[in-house]
Amino acid sequence: MNYGFVIDNRKCIGCHACTVACKAEHDVPLGVNRTWVKYVEKGSFPDTRRLFSVLRCNHCEDAPCVTICPVTALFTRQDGIVDFDPNRCIGCKACMQACPYDALYIDPRTHTAAKCNFCAHRVEVGLEPPCAVVCPEHAIIAGDLDDPSTEIARLVQIERTTVRKPEKGTRPKVFYIEGERAALVPGETDTEEAYVWSQGREPGVEPRAPAPGAPGRLDDRSWARVQSVMGSKAASARRTYDAGQTHRDSWGWKVSAYLWTKSVAAGCLMLAPFLWGWGNPPYEARLRMAALALSLIFLAATGVLLVGDLKRPGRFLWVLTRPQWRSWLTRGSYILLGFGAAAAGLAAAEWLGLPRLWNLLAAPAVALGAAGAVYTAFLFWQAKGRDLWQSPLLPLHLLVQALTAGLAAMVLVKAALPAPLPLDAGGFLETWLWRALALDTALVLLELLAIHPTEDAARAARWALSGPRGAWLAGGALMAGRLAPMALLYLGHPAASAAAAALALAGLAAYEHLYVRAGQSVALS
Amino acid sequence: MSGRSAAGFRPGLVERLFRRLQGKPPLVVPPMPPRGPLSLYPPVDSWDHWEEYDAAAWPRRVKRTYTLVPTACFNCEAACGLLAYVDKETGRIRRFEGNPLHPGSRGRNCAKGPATINQIDDPERILHPLRRAGRRGEERWERVSWDEALDDIAGRIRKALKEGRHNEIMYHVGRPGHERYIERVLKSWGIDGHNSHTNVCSASARLGYQLWTGSDRPSPDHANARLILLLSSHLETGHYFNPHAQRIMEGKMRGARLVVIDPRLSNTASMADDWLPSRPGSEAALLLAMARVILEEDLLDRRFVERWVNWRQCLRAEHPGDPETFDGFLIRIRERYAAFTPEMAEAESGVPAADIVRIAREIARAGSAFAAHIWRGAASGNLGGWQVARALQFLSVLVGAVGTPGGTSPAAWNKFSPKLFAEPPAQTFWNELLFPREYPLGHYEMSFLLPHFLLEGRGRLDVYFTRVYNPVWTNPDGFTWIEALSDESKVGCHVALTPTWSETALYADYVLPMGHAGERHDIQSQETHAGVWFSFRQPVLRAAAERAGRKTTFTHETNPGEVWEEDEFWIELSWRIDPDGSLGVRRWFESPYRPGAKVTVEEYYRWIFENAVPGLPEAAQALGMTPLEYMRRFGAFEVRRGVYALHESPVPSDQLEGAEADPATGVVRRAGTAIGVLVDGVARRGFDTPSRKLEIHSAMMKDWKWPELAMPGYTRSHVHHETIDPSRGELLLLPTFRLPTMIHTRSGNAKWLNEISHRNPVLIHTSDAARLAVRTGDLVRVTTEIGFFVNRVYVTEGIRPGVVACSHHMGRWRTSEKGGSRWAAALVSIQRSPEGVWRMRHQSGIEPFDSDDPDSSRIWWREPGVHQNITFPVHPDPVSGMHCWHQKVRVERARPDDRYGDIEVDTRRSMEVYRRWLAMARPAPGPAGLRRPLWLARPVRPAPETFKVPEDAASPDT
């Protein structure tokens, strides 16, 4: 048994009955939708056509939301329905990043994730979902794809069907008859501030104020601009109605801050054994102690941010007690747990003067530090909805960022300690910070400027590079946050090095924030 | 955890370990029940007790039990079936789905069907009778008891009836949603007081169809058509959206081609194989050019036209010297339409001549399976719009697609009209506020001119009921309505019967809350296809209570608050008008089952089901039920199916006794009434026209002073393209179109519908936008003959250049925090300058608010849309009486002080426009001194003698 939907666009008239029937069945609150209809218009008058698309959960054979969910709140039933349990959800919103189809939202009543669940509660009493029941045109066909006698199985066999984003490898089970690219590929049309019958849903958008300028005609130049804008719009497909369910920034500043604090924590932990003297003269003990303390403090901050970003923070322990092992959120949590233990062990060894414990823990600590830095890359890879985050450079980049952050932190600590340090091996920290920054800069440029494997990844990168964000990126993250500190480090003056370290840390934070936002800037539907 | 789990998730090792550590019992995963294919509805035999899982508790399997009660939707006129899920535990309606046993809607609905639950649960709805406590329109209300309200209103009516002021009582209805109920009530009072919304809706289409077929509506058989031609948007709205949309697409999937004529890319046009975006007002020319192609190329169904068109009468009237041969008629008719060349039609309509010829040939190829429909659209927009409907029906007639499978039948064939338990005699009054002499052929009441008539001093109203009717908002010239309704010397007592707040209710003396769908009784039948059915709208909580063995006497016992149903209101009111029976009113409200006792609403319908529905008593008996039980259980009944070619059926021999055939025309009359027509020597039923044939020539038009319009033709619209100069910012505004999610102002309280659509920008073509230098989202000022409104534009390639369009529905308003739906209505200020210029300005848009429904605090939209109708003057078509909606407007960029939603209207100019249009009419009397042709339909038809214009009466002062 394998349930799925066919949306027959030969018959769909875009009436929104399915949207309302679904709201009625689940009492879906205002502001969120389990299913909705998008309108796209194509062509110039009089060869204009409007395309209707019913959008919803695809009940994927290989559902990325199920894979990423850390607590089994999302699961695939034996009958192929991807269902969810709000009583298990911790509100981490990872599923919203994983789903390439924009199917999930956070229910404002329970603060847990929700989506179309094929009305599993009705299926179990033998009824079709109400969207299929209500449809005046029988354009939504629900049923068992495995049973050759069903209408849906026949349609999928006989008619040419298409699915949304097949390249994601999720094997979606909502099949469109006459599904057109302009309607099903979100990037084909821009999202708008307002649609023909509804306001847009971008946060903070209020009805636009009257256009400035005197009544009557525009001057020639402005008119030419208006015409050119309109001309290009008229020629391409336009999104004219949408529920505006774009879910931009479901991961906000807390997630970008978490990346940063985690980088500092991991970097400091990885550095500590080197400061002990691996291959180098050992450093001043206060520096080592500071590295471990900073690692623990920033790890704690990381934890606070992670829990704070949950919509149900009270349930944070469930990641550990109800683990779903395929999720890198779960794996990452256990890694951070081990990380904390290693850091604490090293600190104890340092404090109590137990060199054998030190030696025993040093290698695992470096490994856990590296794992703590890198695992987020695998988590981001599981966020299949976000093309920018699928970059193969990401693990390396996170590792380099962690080392940069750790080195910068140590340079700052060094500056704070009464100088000169008795044991300072000839600018080891500064040298390596310079190298790390150089590598990081290269990686940043590669991430954003390289040829992107998908159109959406390129779109996300363009988003990061355009407008005020581009200025931030170039001026802030790159110039002030990377190139300037490299120059300052070159001066070799302690105060300049400290300033360089501070700038580098700020530059890292700025880039993380931009990267997290850019990944989510592309509409999923 | 990987792979598929059973019905629920499967807890992993770590979780099981932690549960054990915490001392919790192990999680049990329920196995998935074995299943066959899914079904759309619970089986009918489980409707009394239906168990399903609570969606909110899922995936915990919490069982809830429901009783499923069928009723009918009350949003648009289609009366689609609904099935209410009444929770047995809470006693509340959980949701509405479709009624699978309903022959029209077949278990499916549009968005408005399931949104009915919003209307029922609306925290803003009116739950108690209210009486005005301040000035009219001031919005100070006090709660009154139903008894007080009923006694006061009944006392006024009783006094008026006793004083012979029958014409001062008027009932004005928007959405009737019933069959003949109110007709009986008004007749029992002896008054001519039925007013409707028809003339702002469909009067012109009605006249066009009436002239041809004697039935004022078409019933296309879309499902069996080979070509469907729509001048309407039946895939998203219309008279009857959901049932027709189903059958149009059914026909299309079977291979029918769909052709849509519409200046705007409606969703319907977008689904069409051919979209012909003609200039508004040119449609009749376009259709007549198609007719010309069919005539010139001899593609017509000669046998059908020869047998069923009144061509002999046409020749006699128009070409008296000609021999009466069919070929001679064809020569004459070709001559008559020779001017409608495809090139001429292209010049008028902008549709390429080649397309016109091609579509005409396709229509001919479809032949008897050519289904066509116009309802509002072009017919309602234009001066002479009724000629569009007439030209469309001309095509159906030419290709013999009348009464055929896949063709178009007269609506009367497919509509059930019940006989009632006691029929009061026709009233002997003629109310000239409804049927003034200027519009003897109007279809029907000149409803939208009521305030103008009152302000002109043509009469006054003592008691004025508005029911589910919102003329201040919906009708043109709303400020003139406000002026008339605010004047207590013109309207003595205004009673608003409404389920929800409306702009009109703000100007009432009593606001009496009435039930939504599922809170009242009605029966309704519509011509959705080639069959006959009716549906039973019933108060579902009352029906559920009765199923559970709790007897109820009145529907308001189970309705929320003190919400009544209209049926019981009218019984109660009528009884109080005539408590002792001395006025002769009371006896019509005595039970047919319990002599002398007040009829109950249950008895009223029981009598119809037992006595007036062929086949129902037998169907009920077969199931061991009474007819009433049958209808309560199933909610709908199919009276006939496969209704075709009724015109061919021979007049039953018993009716032919004493009948005579007119030797000249073949019309068979019995006791002066036409009952059929001789065709091929057989007396056949024919059509309900005076000639009993399809009338290409209308003697009535000639006799009633419109000889130049006796045959289908092309009337230049008041917004003909030559009168509009786009280079001066002049454009044609198309203000009538609707959205699939909304229905006039009644859906404003449905939150899910509002969430989907809540603004109505002015649609403008890219080229026009460039000329005005506006982009999507910019504000424009749209100036009409009497004022202006300020709205945003939406630039699109989906509209004809030179035309702008603004959807109906949105732009609702309220003037205070009380009274008005905050889901949909902006808070506005209204001012009137000393010179009489009205100004309205938004004080705030839509904002979240606190209520019993937490969703009201989650409202995320702010734009309420802009009220456009209030800036339109009245445009009564001189023949049909239809308000011609299209407007010639000037569109310009908003001026510096203009704000979104601003409105300004000068009602003095409104009156000037009114008088100008009134002067175009050709008033009664017609032949024999009549006010109106006797054969022509008239709602709540008065006694025949009242049709005569009184000898002594002066002609109306125009």
SS (H, E, C) B831-853: EECCCCEEEEEEEECCCCCCCCC
Residue of A nearest to B759 (CA): A197
Query: CA–CA separation, B628 vs B301, rounded Å?
Result: 46
Q: What is the model's pLDDT at position A420?
A: 58
The residue of A79, A133, A195 whose CB has the most chain B CBs within 10 angstroms, and thus the best one to mutate to test that interface, is A133
Q: Count the helices and strands in chain A (H runs, E runs).
A: 19, 11
Q: What is the model's pLDDT at position A419?
A: 60
How many angstroms away from the CA of A179 is the closest CA of chain B?
Answer: 14
Pairwise CB contact (< 8 Å): A197 & B757: yes
How many angstroms away from the CA of A260 is the closest CA of chain B?
Answer: 30
**Banded model confidence at residue A210, pLDDT cuts 50, 70, 90:** very low
Q: How many CB pairs under 8 A join A and B?
A: 321
Pairwise CB contact (< 8 Å): B15 & A144: no
What Cα–Cα distance (Å) separates residue B591 from each residue in A83, B183, B594, B612?
A: 56, 18, 5, 16
Q: What's CA A174's distance to the chain center, in Å?
A: 24
Mean pLDDT for A308-316 is 97
CB atoms within 10 A of CB B591: 15
Rg (CA), chain B: 29
Q: What is the model's pLDDT at position A87?
A: 96
Of all residues in chain B, the percent with pLDDT exceeding 90 is 93
Query: CA–CA separation, A156 vs A162, rounded Å?
Result: 10
Mean pLDDT for B71-84 is 96
3-state helix, strand, coil in chain B (%, to 5): 35, 20, 50
Mean pLDDT for B390-410 is 98
Contacts of A83 in chain B (CB under 8 A): 8, 59
The residue of B22, B76, B99, B109 whose CB has the most chain A CBs within 10 angstroms, and thus the best one to mutate to test that interface, is B109
Query: CA–CA separation, B9 vs B329, rounded Å?
Result: 79
**Which residues on adjacent β-strands are paired with residue B551?**
none
Residue of A nearest to B897 (CA): A210
How many angstroms away from the CA of B396 is the closest CA of chain A?
Answer: 26
The residue of B16, B38, B41, B95 whose CB has the most chain A CBs within 10 angstroms, and thus the best one to mutate to test that interface, is B38
The more confidently predicted of residues A292 and A277 is A292
Dump pLDDT digits (tens) for B539-597.
999 999 999 999 999 999 999 999 999 999 999 999 999 999 999 999 999 999 999 99
- Closest to B169 (Cα-Cα) out of B500, B585, B598: B585
How many angstroms away from the CA of B348 is the closest CA of chain A?
Answer: 17
Residue of A nearest to B233 (CA): A13
Contacts of A203 in chain B (CB under 8 A): none
How many angstroms away from the CA of B108 is the closest CA of chain A?
Answer: 5
- Closest to A50 (Cα-Cα) out of B881, B236, B104: B236
3 state DSSP class of B93? strand
A355-382 helix and A394-416 helix, angle to the nearest 10 degrees = 140
Judge whether residue B310 has pLDDT over 80. yes
Mean pLDDT for B283-298 is 98
Judge whether residue A227 has pLDDT over 80. no
Using CB atoms, which residue from B4, B7, B779 is nearest to A211? B779
Judge whether residue B788 has pLDDT over 90. yes
Dump pLDDT digits (tens) for B17-43.
999 999 988 877 777 776 778 999 999
Dump pLDDT digits (tens) for A112-154.
999 999 999 999 999 999 999 999 999 999 999 999 999 999 9
Task: Give kind and range of the element (H or E) at residue A271.
Answer: helix A253-276
Dump pLDDT digits (tens) for A245-267.
767 789 999 999 999 999 999 99
Q: What is the model's pLDDT at position B1?
A: 38
Judge whether residue A492 has pLDDT over 70. yes
Task: Please tell me the least confidently modeled range out of A318-332, A379-393, A484-498, B200-214.
Answer: A484-498
Residue of A nearest to B752 (CA): A20
Q: What is the model's pLDDT at position A278?
A: 59
Q: What is the model's pLDDT at position A203?
A: 40
Pairwise CB contact (< 8 Å): B111 & A215: no
Mean pLDDT for A42-63 is 96
Pairwise CB contact (< 8 Å): B752 & A233: no
Q: Tell whether pTM > 0.80.
A: yes
The residue of A39, A125, A246 whose CB has the most chain B CBs within 10 angstroms, and thus the best one to mutate to test that interface, is A125
Mean pLDDT for A165-187 is 96
Task: Judge if the upstream peptide bond of residue A210 is cis by omega within 30 degrees of 0.
Answer: no
CB atoms within 10 A of CB B319: 16
Residues B408, B373 contacting (CB under 8 angstroms):
yes
Contacts of B81 in chain A (CB under 8 A): none
Q: What is the model's pLDDT at position B10?
A: 75
Pairwise CB contact (< 8 Å): B40 & A128: yes
CB atoms within 10 A of CB A492: 10
Contacts of B249 in chain A (CB under 8 A): 11, 13, 137
**Banded model confidence at residue A287, pLDDT cuts 50, 70, 90:** confident
How many angstroms away from the CA of A188 is the closest CA of chain B?
Answer: 17
Mean pLDDT of chain B: 95
Judge whether residue A207 has pLDDT over 50. no
**Angle of CA points A25, A241, B854, to nearest 5°:** 40
Judge whether residue A335 has pLDDT over 90. yes
Q: What is the model's pLDDT at position A206?
A: 40
Pairwise CB contact (< 8 Å): B58 & A117: yes
What residues contact B459, with CB distance under 8 A and at least 6 apart? B167, B168, B431, B432, B433, B453
Pairwise CB contact (< 8 Å): A45 & B801: yes
- Closest to A467 (Cα-Cα) out of A521, A386, A512: A521
DSSP B615: T
Contacts of B60 in chain A (CB under 8 A): 87
- One-character DSSP codes across B908-937: HHHHHHHHHHHTT--PSP-GGGBSS-TTS-
Dump pLDDT digits (tens) for A376-425.
999 999 999 999 999 999 999 999 999 999 999 999 998 888 765 555 55
- Closest to B95 (Cα-Cα) out of A126, A122, A4, A59: A122
Q: What is the model's pLDDT at position A191?
A: 87
- Closest to B280 (Cα-Cα) out of B715, B884, B734: B734
Q: How many residues does chain B have?
A: 958
The residue of B5, B275, B797 whose CB has the most chain A CBs within 10 angstroms, and thus the best one to mutate to test that interface, is B797
Q: What is the model's pLDDT at position A226?
A: 56
Phi, psi dihedral angles at A138 (to 5 degrees): 50, 45
What Cα–Cα distance (Å) separates residue B480 from each residue in B14, B113, B272, B338?
A: 75, 34, 40, 45
Q: What is the model's pLDDT at position B2?
A: 41
Contacts of B55 in chain A (CB under 8 A): 25-27, 119, 121-122
Using CB atoms, which residue from A78, A128, A138 is nearest to B32? A78
How many angstroms away from the CA of A98 is the closest CA of chain B?
Answer: 16
Contacts of A321 in chain B (CB under 8 A): 14-15, 18
Phi, psi dihedral angles at B83 (to 5 degrees): -125, 115
Query: CA–CA separation, A377 vs A400, rounded Å?
Result: 12
Using CB atoms, which residue from B114, B753, B892 is nearest to A134? B114
Dump pLDDT digits (tens) for B43-67.
999 999 999 999 999 999 999 999 9
Contacts of A124 in chain B (CB under 8 A): 7, 32-33, 35, 53, 61
Pairwise CB contact (< 8 Å): A215 & B895: yes
Contacts of B858 in chain A (CB under 8 A): 29-31, 108
The more confidently predicted of residues B495 and A285 is B495
B311-318 helix and B326-336 helix, angle to the nearest 10 degrees = 60
**Banded model confidence at residue B238, pLDDT cuts 50, 70, 90:** confident
Task: Please tell me the least confidently modeled range out of A453-457, B403-407, B488-492.
Answer: A453-457
Residue of B nearest to A144 (CA): B37
The more confidently predicted of residues B658 and B8 is B658
Residue of B nearest to A221 (CA): B773
The more confidently predicted of residues B181 and A428 is B181
Q: What is the model's pLDDT at position A228?
A: 59
The residue of A89, A137, A190, A223 whose CB has the most chain B CBs within 10 angstroms, and thus the best one to mutate to test that interface, is A137
Q: What is the model's pLDDT at position A286?
A: 81
Using CB atoms, which residue from B114, B798, B807 is nearest to A50? B798
Q: What is the model's pLDDT at position A422?
A: 56
Mean pLDDT for B384-406 is 98
Around A30, how many Cα atoms within 13 Å sit in the side-chain half-sphere?
A: 22
Contacts of B770 in chain A (CB under 8 A): 223, 226-227, 230
Contacts of A78 in chain B (CB under 8 A): 4-7, 32
Rg (CA), chain A: 27
Mean pLDDT for B351-373 is 98
